[in-house]
Amino acid sequence: MPRTEARIFTTIWDDPDYLKLPPGPQRLYLFLISQPDLSYCGLIALRARRWAQKAPGLTPADVLEDLLVLAEGERPFVLVDEDTEEVLVRSLVRRDRVYKQPNVLKSARESASLIESPMLRAALRAELQRIPLADVGSDIARSVLTGFLGDLMEGSPNPSADPSDNPPAKPSRKGSRNPSPNPSGNPSQGKGEKYGEQESTSPSPSSPFPGTSSSATPSTDGDECSEEGAVQSDLSPELVAAIDRVCDHLANRVVDNGSKPPTISKRWRDAARLMLTADKRTEEQIHRAIDWCQDDEFWRGNILSLPTLRAKYDQLRLQASRPSRGSPRPAARGDSGPHLPAQDYSNVRL
pLDDT in tens, 231-245: 455 789 999 999 999
Mind listing the pLDDT tens digit for each residue in 3-23? 778 888 888 999 999 999 999
CB 211 within 8 A of CB 245: no
Higher-confidence position of 333 and 153: 153
Between 219 and 112, the more confident residue is 112
pLDDT of 88 reads 93
Q: How confident is the model at residue 166 (pLDDT cuts 50, 70, 90)?
A: very low
Q: What mean pLDDT value characterizes the chain?
A: 72
pLDDT digit string, tens, across residues 25-60: 999 999 999 999 998 888 999 999 999 999 999 999
According to the model, what pLDDT value does residue 222 have?
A: 36
| Confidence band for 262, pLDDT divided at 50, 70 and 90 | confident
Predicted TM-score of the model (pTM): 0.48
